[in-house]
């Protein structure tokens, strides 16, 4: 299980890659909804069932293009973030039904500041 046995640097795990701190993988479906269902299932199976996620793909898509006139911008990435995961929307027409998942190693001593890009 990913959450309890985070892959080491250079180690592949279920089609994704790890640098010991960040595990990256992608999910492509016929629709974004299909990709999100696969991603959600993966997170549940890998021990991340308690991480809050958007309720469905429609809600997830709200994070793709946030409002332009925000008073405070917490994240520069196009996607959803909730420690220890980030879900991104890749650029390009051919990737419109793909979601990129990044999972971060919670056992790293500087996990929280690294996750928020402070170091």
How much is the pTM? 0.88
* H/E element, 23: strand 22-28
Omega before residue 93 within 30° of 0, cis: no
Confidence of residue 72 (pLDDT cuts 50, 70, 90): low
**Res 91: pLDDT:** 78
Give the residue-averaged pLDDT of 41-47.
Answer: 98
pLDDT tens per residue across span 7-42: 999 999 999 999 999 999 999 999 999 999 999 999
* H/E element, 103: strand 98-104
Residue 58 has pLDDT above 70, yes or no: yes
Distance CA 98, CA 90 (A): 7
Q: What is the DSSP letter of 7?
A: P
- Which residues are CB-contacts of 24 (< 8 A; sequence separation ≥ 6)? 16, 17, 18, 100, 101, 102
**Res 66: pLDDT:** 64
């Amino acid at each position: 299980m990913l959450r309890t046995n985070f892959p080491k640097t250079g180690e592949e795990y279920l089609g994704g890659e790890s640098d010991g701190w960040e595990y990256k993988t992608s999910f492509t479906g016929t629709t974004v909804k299909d990709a999100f269902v696969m991603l959600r299932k993966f997170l549940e199976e890998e021990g991340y069932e308690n991480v809050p996620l958007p309720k469905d793909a429609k809600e997830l898509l709200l994070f793709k293009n946030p409002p332009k006139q925000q008073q405070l911008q917490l994240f520069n990435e196009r996607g959803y973030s909730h420690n220890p995961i980030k879900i991104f929307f890749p650029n390009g027409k051919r990737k419109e039904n793909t979601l990129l998942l990044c999972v971060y190693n919670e056992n790293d001593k500087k996990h929280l500041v690294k996750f928020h890009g402070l170091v």
